[in-house]
Structures are given as C-alpha cells and as structure tokens.
Amino acid sequence: MEMERFRSDLGRYLRRKIGFEAVMRIRLSYGLSVHSFFGNFFVCSSNMAKLSNVNPDSAFGVLLNLDDNIDQPVVCIQAAVLYSTCHGQRRIRVHTICLPTSESILEIHNAADLPAIIALISRMVEKKSHICLAVDRCLYQQGTIQMAREASVNAVIDCLYAFRSASSSREYGTLLCSRNMRLFPIFILALLKSVS
C-alpha cells in the first residue's frame, strides 16, 4: 500500500508543471497594503516577490495591513504570477478574489477560514519575529521561539476576547467562540507541541 502511494506521489511530482524565474505581484483595493510575505522567495518591494520556481503545490502567505477605513462593500485582492515554462514561454497567471467587508466582529469570525489562519500562523512562528510583530505587537527585534509561542497563544486569546466582547451572550465560565473558530485553541496547542 505504501509502495503504491509512493509510486503515485513520485509520478505526480515528475509529471506536474513547473514554472521558472517567477515574479509574483499583489494588488489590493484602496485602504489595504501588504505587511509581509511568508514563503520561500525573495521580496523585491512591498508588493512584489521573486520565486525561483512555482508549481501547483506552491503555497504563499501574505499578511495585510488595514491602512485606512474602507467604506466600500467589497475589497479586491489580486495575485499575478509571471513565469517561464520548461519550454521557455513566458506566461502569466492571475487570481482575483473579491471579499465582502463588514463592521461586525461576529460576521468576520463566522466567515473566518481556520485552516488558512493556522497555516499563516505556523509560517509566522517559523519566522519567529514576524509573529511577534504582527500578532503580539512586540518591538522590532529578532524573536526567540519562546516569544513566537507566546505570541501564538496571545493570538488565540485576542480572538476569543474580541468575539466575547462583540457577543450579546454574557455567560461566564463557558468558551464563547464562533462555530468555525471553535478548534482554533486546539490547533494552536498542537502547533505548540510540535518539535520545531
């Protein structure tokens, strides 16, 4: 069984399309800006990164800043990747997403994508100092792994506190959290128990 899985994984790895000499640019609606990138690439400017290669399994994280009040009903985020195929052709791949805005913390919690949040926080913990800056608002310094762990715990505490503050229910002694963020503390505990 493991041999079959290894064979299929290796076959997929050898047959998948790969792009070389890639450049990724992030474009955002007014009021948003790129705070930092997470992944294996070289950051050229505040919204552009150079990648040695890309493939269908590549994943990147982008932390956004809210610079100004947004009065539009939606914000748009666009990621464009310019790359060369193995045959030397230059191609561009564009992904655009429009997301609704809200002033309600409860709506934001109910629409949160927990796997994406966990993936981003784990990459931030990997870079240690970034999570201290973004999540825990530490000073600019090279963070330690302990600081990164504390910052990830504080991310959960801040999330639960914001939801409880916005909620009309005031039952004390119970964990008050949106349905899709209910596993957030457990995932962070699992992240803290990992060897890295």
pLDDT band at 80 (very low <50, low <70, confident <90, very high): very high
Check whether 82 has a pLDDT greater than 90: yes
pLDDT band at 139 (very low <50, low <70, confident <90, very high): very low
What single string gives the DSSP state of each residue in 78-114?
EEEEEEE-TTS-EEEEEEEEEEE--S-HHHHHHT--H
Mean predicted confidence (pLDDT) in 35-47: 85
Mean predicted confidence (pLDDT) in 39-50: 87
Share of residues in the chain with pLDDT > 90 (%) = 27
**pLDDT of amino acid 175:** 67
**pLDDT of amino acid 171:** 65
How far is 112 from 19, CA to CA, in rounded Å? 31
The DSSP code for 195 is: -
Mean predicted confidence (pLDDT) in 57-77: 88
Place of tokens 């705070």: 35
Q: Which of 96-100, 105-109, 130-134, 155-159 has the highest mean pLDDT?
A: 96-100
Check whether 129 has a pLDDT greater than 60: no
What token pair was written down for 88?
A: 């030397």
> For the structural domain made of 1-101, what CATH number should be given?
2.60.40.1670
User: Where are the chain's structural domains?
Assistant: 1-101, 103-196
**pLDDT of amino acid 57:** 84
pLDDT band at 130 (very low <50, low <70, confident <90, very high): low
**pLDDT of amino acid 46:** 85
Mean predicted confidence (pLDDT) in 101-114: 87
Name the helix (H) or strand (E) containing 26. Answer: strand 19-28
pLDDT in tens, 143-179: 677 777 788 888 888 888 888 888 776 666 666 777 8
**pLDDT of amino acid 140:** 40
